[in-house]
Chain A
Amino acid sequence: MTQVDAATRRAGGELAAGAHAMTPMLVAFAPFGLLVGAAVAASESPAAAWLSTWTIYGGAAHLAVLDVLQRDTGVLGAALVGLLINARMVAYSVSLAPYWRESSVGSKVAAAAVLTDATWALAHNRDEASARARRRFYFGAGVTLWFGWPALVTLGVVVGRWVQEVPVAALLPSLTLGTLVVPQLRTRPGLAAGAAAATVAVFTVSMDGGVALALCAAAGATAAALVQRRTA
Protein backbone atom coordinates (compact mmCIF):
# COMPACT_ATOMS: atom_id res chain seq x y z
CA MET A 1 0.00 0.00 0.00
CA THR A 2 1.39 3.45 -0.92
CA GLN A 3 1.45 6.36 1.51
CA VAL A 4 -1.30 8.06 -0.52
CA ASP A 5 -3.50 4.95 -0.25
CA ALA A 6 -2.95 4.79 3.51
CA ALA A 7 -3.80 8.49 3.92
CA THR A 8 -6.95 8.08 1.82
CA ARG A 9 -8.01 5.09 3.88
CA ARG A 10 -7.42 7.02 7.12
CA ALA A 11 -9.47 9.98 5.80
CA GLY A 12 -12.29 7.65 4.79
CA GLY A 13 -12.08 5.98 8.20
CA GLU A 14 -12.55 9.25 10.07
CA LEU A 15 -15.47 10.29 7.84
CA ALA A 16 -17.10 6.89 8.35
CA ALA A 17 -16.48 7.07 12.11
CA GLY A 18 -18.27 10.43 12.22
CA ALA A 19 -21.21 9.11 10.21
CA HIS A 20 -21.31 6.00 12.42
CA ALA A 21 -21.34 8.11 15.61
CA MET A 22 -24.17 10.28 14.29
CA THR A 23 -26.47 7.42 13.21
CA PRO A 24 -27.88 6.58 16.68
CA MET A 25 -28.33 10.31 17.29
CA LEU A 26 -30.48 10.50 14.17
CA VAL A 27 -32.66 7.66 15.44
CA ALA A 28 -33.02 9.46 18.76
CA PHE A 29 -33.83 12.79 17.13
CA ALA A 30 -36.51 11.20 14.91
CA PRO A 31 -39.50 12.07 17.15
CA PHE A 32 -38.25 15.64 17.53
CA GLY A 33 -37.75 15.99 13.77
CA LEU A 34 -41.27 14.68 13.18
CA LEU A 35 -42.62 17.23 15.69
CA VAL A 36 -40.84 20.06 13.86
CA GLY A 37 -42.30 18.71 10.61
CA ALA A 38 -45.81 18.82 12.09
CA ALA A 39 -45.23 22.48 13.06
CA VAL A 40 -43.95 23.22 9.53
CA ALA A 41 -47.12 21.70 8.04
CA ALA A 42 -49.30 23.81 10.36
CA SER A 43 -47.39 27.01 9.51
CA GLU A 44 -48.91 29.86 7.51
CA SER A 45 -46.17 29.39 4.91
CA PRO A 46 -45.14 25.72 4.88
CA ALA A 47 -42.68 26.14 2.00
CA ALA A 48 -40.73 28.92 3.77
CA ALA A 49 -40.88 27.01 7.08
CA TRP A 50 -39.56 23.86 5.39
CA LEU A 51 -36.73 25.70 3.60
CA SER A 52 -35.68 27.22 6.94
CA THR A 53 -34.74 23.72 8.11
CA TRP A 54 -31.32 24.25 6.48
CA THR A 55 -30.74 27.87 7.57
CA ILE A 56 -32.08 27.80 11.15
CA TYR A 57 -30.79 24.20 11.49
CA GLY A 58 -31.81 23.82 15.12
CA GLY A 59 -35.03 22.07 16.09
CA ALA A 60 -35.67 24.08 19.27
CA ALA A 61 -35.30 27.47 17.56
CA HIS A 62 -37.30 26.34 14.51
CA LEU A 63 -40.13 25.03 16.67
CA ALA A 64 -40.13 28.13 18.90
CA VAL A 65 -40.29 30.58 15.96
CA LEU A 66 -43.19 28.70 14.36
CA ASP A 67 -44.97 28.51 17.71
CA VAL A 68 -44.56 32.25 18.39
CA LEU A 69 -45.75 33.10 14.87
CA GLN A 70 -48.92 31.06 15.46
CA ARG A 71 -49.70 33.41 18.37
CA ASP A 72 -49.43 36.59 16.25
CA THR A 73 -46.51 38.06 18.22
CA GLY A 74 -45.08 39.77 15.13
CA VAL A 75 -41.90 39.53 13.11
CA LEU A 76 -39.48 40.96 15.67
CA GLY A 77 -40.82 38.96 18.62
CA ALA A 78 -40.59 35.70 16.68
CA ALA A 79 -37.16 36.51 15.23
CA LEU A 80 -35.80 37.49 18.64
CA VAL A 81 -36.93 34.20 20.22
CA GLY A 82 -35.29 32.18 17.43
CA LEU A 83 -32.07 34.20 17.49
CA LEU A 84 -31.77 33.95 21.28
CA ILE A 85 -32.24 30.18 21.27
CA ASN A 86 -29.73 29.72 18.45
CA ALA A 87 -27.16 32.08 20.04
CA ARG A 88 -25.42 28.98 21.45
CA MET A 89 -24.10 28.38 17.91
CA VAL A 90 -21.64 31.25 18.50
CA ALA A 91 -20.10 29.33 21.40
CA TYR A 92 -19.90 26.14 19.31
CA SER A 93 -18.33 27.96 16.38
CA VAL A 94 -15.78 29.81 18.56
CA SER A 95 -14.74 26.56 20.26
CA LEU A 96 -14.21 24.88 16.87
CA ALA A 97 -12.09 27.75 15.54
CA PRO A 98 -8.65 26.34 16.53
CA TYR A 99 -9.20 23.26 14.35
CA TRP A 100 -10.11 25.33 11.28
CA ARG A 101 -7.28 27.90 11.44
CA GLU A 102 -5.36 26.33 8.57
CA SER A 103 -8.45 25.46 6.48
CA SER A 104 -9.74 27.08 3.30
CA VAL A 105 -12.71 29.46 3.32
CA GLY A 106 -14.78 26.80 1.54
CA SER A 107 -14.05 24.28 4.28
CA LYS A 108 -15.04 26.83 6.95
CA VAL A 109 -18.31 27.62 5.15
CA ALA A 110 -19.08 23.89 4.87
CA ALA A 111 -18.26 23.41 8.57
CA ALA A 112 -20.58 26.28 9.50
CA ALA A 113 -23.39 24.87 7.36
CA VAL A 114 -23.46 21.55 9.23
CA LEU A 115 -22.84 22.97 12.73
CA THR A 116 -25.40 22.14 15.40
CA ASP A 117 -25.58 20.63 18.92
CA ALA A 118 -24.96 16.97 18.14
CA THR A 119 -22.29 17.58 15.49
CA TRP A 120 -20.39 19.96 17.75
CA ALA A 121 -20.62 17.73 20.82
CA LEU A 122 -19.47 14.59 18.99
CA ALA A 123 -16.45 16.44 17.56
CA HIS A 124 -15.74 18.14 20.89
CA ASN A 125 -15.67 14.77 22.69
CA ARG A 126 -13.04 13.44 20.27
CA ASP A 127 -10.12 14.89 22.20
CA GLU A 128 -7.44 12.46 21.14
CA ALA A 129 -7.69 13.20 17.44
CA SER A 130 -5.46 15.60 15.46
CA ALA A 131 -7.04 18.75 13.97
CA ARG A 132 -7.23 17.18 10.50
CA ALA A 133 -8.72 13.91 11.78
CA ARG A 134 -11.18 15.83 13.91
CA ARG A 135 -12.29 17.89 10.90
CA ARG A 136 -12.94 14.71 8.89
CA PHE A 137 -14.82 13.13 11.77
CA TYR A 138 -16.82 16.36 12.13
CA PHE A 139 -17.77 16.33 8.44
CA GLY A 140 -18.75 12.66 8.58
CA ALA A 141 -21.09 13.36 11.49
CA GLY A 142 -22.24 16.75 10.17
CA VAL A 143 -23.11 15.66 6.65
CA THR A 144 -25.03 12.66 7.99
CA LEU A 145 -27.18 14.96 10.12
CA TRP A 146 -27.40 17.57 7.36
CA PHE A 147 -29.18 15.04 5.17
CA GLY A 148 -30.93 13.13 7.94
CA TRP A 149 -32.50 16.01 9.87
CA PRO A 150 -34.32 17.60 6.88
CA ALA A 151 -35.47 14.11 5.86
CA LEU A 152 -37.04 13.68 9.32
CA VAL A 153 -38.65 17.13 9.17
CA THR A 154 -40.02 16.35 5.70
CA LEU A 155 -41.45 13.06 6.95
CA GLY A 156 -42.93 14.97 9.89
CA VAL A 157 -44.81 17.27 7.52
CA VAL A 158 -46.78 14.18 6.48
CA VAL A 159 -46.95 12.04 9.64
CA GLY A 160 -45.74 14.28 12.47
CA ARG A 161 -49.06 14.71 14.26
CA TRP A 162 -49.07 11.24 15.82
CA VAL A 163 -45.83 11.92 17.69
CA GLN A 164 -47.56 14.56 19.83
CA GLU A 165 -49.71 11.79 21.26
CA VAL A 166 -46.71 9.73 22.45
CA PRO A 167 -45.33 11.65 25.49
CA VAL A 168 -42.24 9.45 25.90
CA ALA A 169 -41.08 10.64 22.46
CA ALA A 170 -40.55 14.14 23.87
CA LEU A 171 -37.97 12.77 26.34
CA LEU A 172 -35.74 11.18 23.71
CA PRO A 173 -33.89 14.38 22.67
CA SER A 174 -33.01 15.04 26.35
CA LEU A 175 -31.62 11.52 26.69
CA THR A 176 -29.66 11.85 23.46
CA LEU A 177 -28.14 15.21 24.32
CA GLY A 178 -27.39 13.87 27.81
CA THR A 179 -25.22 11.12 26.33
CA LEU A 180 -23.19 13.83 24.56
CA VAL A 181 -22.57 15.73 27.80
CA VAL A 182 -21.55 12.71 29.93
CA PRO A 183 -18.00 12.29 28.51
CA GLN A 184 -17.22 15.91 29.39
CA LEU A 185 -18.23 15.35 33.02
CA ARG A 186 -15.20 13.09 33.56
CA THR A 187 -12.91 16.11 33.95
CA ARG A 188 -13.11 18.44 36.97
CA PRO A 189 -13.76 21.62 34.93
CA GLY A 190 -16.38 19.71 32.92
CA LEU A 191 -18.10 18.50 36.06
CA ALA A 192 -18.08 22.04 37.48
CA ALA A 193 -19.55 23.43 34.24
CA GLY A 194 -22.25 20.75 34.14
CA ALA A 195 -23.21 21.20 37.81
CA ALA A 196 -23.35 25.00 37.54
CA ALA A 197 -25.36 24.91 34.30
CA ALA A 198 -27.81 22.33 35.67
CA THR A 199 -28.33 24.35 38.86
CA VAL A 200 -28.96 27.59 36.94
CA ALA A 201 -31.25 25.70 34.54
CA VAL A 202 -33.40 24.55 37.47
CA PHE A 203 -33.70 28.08 38.87
CA THR A 204 -34.40 29.67 35.46
CA VAL A 205 -36.81 27.01 34.19
CA SER A 206 -39.73 29.46 34.07
CA MET A 207 -37.71 32.04 32.09
CA ASP A 208 -37.61 32.46 28.34
CA GLY A 209 -35.41 29.79 26.71
CA GLY A 210 -32.85 32.05 25.05
CA VAL A 211 -32.11 34.18 28.13
CA ALA A 212 -32.03 31.13 30.43
CA LEU A 213 -29.60 29.29 28.14
CA ALA A 214 -27.31 32.35 28.00
CA LEU A 215 -27.26 32.45 31.83
CA CYS A 216 -26.49 28.73 32.01
CA ALA A 217 -23.67 29.14 29.48
CA ALA A 218 -22.15 31.99 31.49
CA ALA A 219 -22.44 30.07 34.78
CA GLY A 220 -20.96 26.88 33.33
CA ALA A 221 -18.04 28.60 31.58
CA THR A 222 -17.23 30.62 34.72
CA ALA A 223 -17.34 27.57 37.00
CA ALA A 224 -15.09 25.56 34.64
CA ALA A 225 -12.60 28.42 34.35
CA LEU A 226 -12.43 28.81 38.14
CA VAL A 227 -11.85 25.09 38.70
CA GLN A 228 -9.25 24.96 35.94
CA ARG A 229 -7.39 27.92 37.43
CA ARG A 230 -7.43 26.31 40.88
CA THR A 231 -6.17 22.94 39.62
CA ALA A 232 -3.50 24.42 37.28
Chain B
Amino acid sequence: MTTTVVALLLVGIGSVAYRLLPLLGAARVPEQVSRAAGWAGMSVITAVVVRGVLHHRDDSMPWAVPVAVVSVAVGLTLAVRGRGALVVLAAGAASYLTLSALVGLLV
Protein backbone atom coordinates (compact mmCIF):
# COMPACT_ATOMS: atom_id res chain seq x y z
CA MET B 1 0.00 0.00 0.00
CA THR B 2 2.85 2.40 0.87
CA THR B 3 4.50 1.59 -2.47
CA THR B 4 1.32 2.57 -4.33
CA VAL B 5 0.91 5.83 -2.42
CA VAL B 6 4.57 6.87 -2.86
CA ALA B 7 4.59 6.03 -6.60
CA LEU B 8 1.34 7.95 -7.19
CA LEU B 9 2.68 10.90 -5.17
CA LEU B 10 5.91 11.00 -7.20
CA VAL B 11 4.08 10.91 -10.53
CA GLY B 12 1.56 13.47 -9.29
CA ILE B 13 4.22 15.93 -8.10
CA GLY B 14 6.25 15.44 -11.28
CA SER B 15 3.21 15.94 -13.50
CA VAL B 16 2.25 19.16 -11.72
CA ALA B 17 5.84 20.41 -12.12
CA TYR B 18 5.81 19.56 -15.85
CA ARG B 19 2.71 21.71 -16.30
CA LEU B 20 3.54 24.55 -13.97
CA LEU B 21 7.24 25.37 -14.31
CA PRO B 22 7.28 26.37 -18.01
CA LEU B 23 4.22 28.59 -17.46
CA LEU B 24 5.79 30.27 -14.41
CA GLY B 25 8.85 31.02 -16.52
CA ALA B 26 6.68 32.12 -19.44
CA ALA B 27 8.44 35.47 -19.83
CA ARG B 28 11.74 33.72 -20.54
CA VAL B 29 10.48 31.19 -23.09
CA PRO B 30 11.63 32.34 -26.58
CA GLU B 31 9.02 32.36 -29.37
CA GLN B 32 10.97 29.75 -31.41
CA VAL B 33 11.12 27.32 -28.49
CA SER B 34 7.41 27.79 -27.88
CA ARG B 35 6.64 27.12 -31.57
CA ALA B 36 8.84 23.99 -31.60
CA ALA B 37 7.09 22.79 -28.42
CA GLY B 38 3.77 23.21 -30.22
CA TRP B 39 4.93 20.94 -33.03
CA ALA B 40 6.30 18.47 -30.47
CA GLY B 41 2.96 18.46 -28.65
CA MET B 42 1.05 17.83 -31.85
CA SER B 43 3.49 15.05 -32.76
CA VAL B 44 2.93 13.38 -29.40
CA ILE B 45 -0.84 13.38 -29.89
CA THR B 46 -0.36 11.93 -33.40
CA ALA B 47 1.84 9.21 -31.92
CA VAL B 48 -0.70 8.46 -29.17
CA VAL B 49 -3.35 7.97 -31.89
CA VAL B 50 -1.11 5.66 -33.95
CA ARG B 51 0.00 3.64 -30.92
CA GLY B 52 -3.58 3.36 -29.66
CA VAL B 53 -4.66 1.85 -32.98
CA LEU B 54 -1.67 -0.47 -33.38
CA HIS B 55 -2.03 -1.73 -29.80
CA HIS B 56 -5.74 -2.37 -30.23
CA ARG B 57 -6.83 -5.79 -29.00
CA ASP B 58 -10.07 -7.65 -29.60
CA ASP B 59 -10.03 -11.31 -28.64
CA SER B 60 -13.39 -11.91 -30.31
CA MET B 61 -12.00 -11.71 -33.86
CA PRO B 62 -8.82 -12.03 -35.95
CA TRP B 63 -7.38 -8.99 -37.77
CA ALA B 64 -8.36 -6.62 -34.97
CA VAL B 65 -5.57 -4.17 -35.81
CA PRO B 66 -6.35 -3.85 -39.57
CA VAL B 67 -10.03 -3.40 -38.73
CA ALA B 68 -9.08 -0.70 -36.19
CA VAL B 69 -6.81 1.03 -38.74
CA VAL B 70 -9.57 1.16 -41.39
CA SER B 71 -12.19 2.33 -38.86
CA VAL B 72 -10.04 5.16 -37.53
CA ALA B 73 -9.12 6.10 -41.11
CA VAL B 74 -12.84 6.36 -41.97
CA GLY B 75 -13.48 8.55 -38.92
CA LEU B 76 -10.51 10.82 -39.53
CA THR B 77 -11.37 11.23 -43.21
CA LEU B 78 -14.63 12.78 -42.03
CA ALA B 79 -12.65 14.98 -39.62
CA VAL B 80 -10.53 16.22 -42.55
CA ARG B 81 -13.79 17.13 -44.32
CA GLY B 82 -14.76 19.28 -41.35
CA ARG B 83 -17.18 17.01 -39.48
CA GLY B 84 -17.47 17.36 -35.69
CA ALA B 85 -16.01 15.02 -33.09
CA LEU B 86 -19.27 13.18 -32.39
CA VAL B 87 -19.86 12.42 -36.10
CA VAL B 88 -16.25 11.20 -36.38
CA LEU B 89 -16.72 8.96 -33.34
CA ALA B 90 -20.02 7.55 -34.58
CA ALA B 91 -18.59 6.82 -38.06
CA GLY B 92 -15.44 5.22 -36.64
CA ALA B 93 -17.37 3.06 -34.19
CA ALA B 94 -19.96 2.05 -36.81
CA SER B 95 -17.18 1.11 -39.26
CA TYR B 96 -15.51 -1.00 -36.59
CA LEU B 97 -18.73 -2.85 -35.71
CA THR B 98 -19.59 -3.43 -39.38
CA LEU B 99 -16.12 -4.63 -40.31
CA SER B 100 -15.81 -6.89 -37.27
CA ALA B 101 -19.20 -8.46 -38.15
CA LEU B 102 -17.98 -8.99 -41.76
CA VAL B 103 -14.72 -10.53 -40.58
CA GLY B 104 -16.71 -12.77 -38.24
CA LEU B 105 -18.80 -13.99 -41.20
CA LEU B 106 -15.80 -14.55 -43.47
CA VAL B 107 -13.49 -16.34 -41.03
By a CB distance below 8 angstroms, the chain A residues around B27 are: 101
Q: Please, how many residues of chain B have a CB less than 8 angstroms from a CB on the other chain?
A: 73
Known: A115-B19, A196-B43, A219-B43. A75 touches B7 (CB 8 A): yes
* A173 to B56 Cα, complex, angstroms: 12
B residues neighboring A (CB under 8 Å)? 1, 3-16, 18-27, 29, 31, 33-60, 64, 68, 71-72, 75-76, 79-80, 84-86, 88-89, 92-93, 96-97, 100
By a CB distance below 8 angstroms, the chain B residues around A45 are: 1, 4-5, 8
Which residue of B has the minimal Cβ distance to A44? B4
* A186 to B105 Cα, complex, angstroms: 39
* A108 to B100 Cα, complex, angstroms: 46
CB–CB B43/A220 < 8 A: yes
By a CB distance below 8 angstroms, the chain B residues around A88 are: 40-41, 44
Task: Flag whether A17 is at the interface (Cβ < 8 A).
Answer: no
Tell me, rounded to whole Å, the shortest Cβ–Cβ distance linking B99 to chain A: 10
By a CB distance below 8 angstroms, the chain B residues around A91 are: 37-38, 40-41, 44
* A231 to B64 Cα, complex, angstroms: 40
* A1 to B24 Cα, complex, angstroms: 37
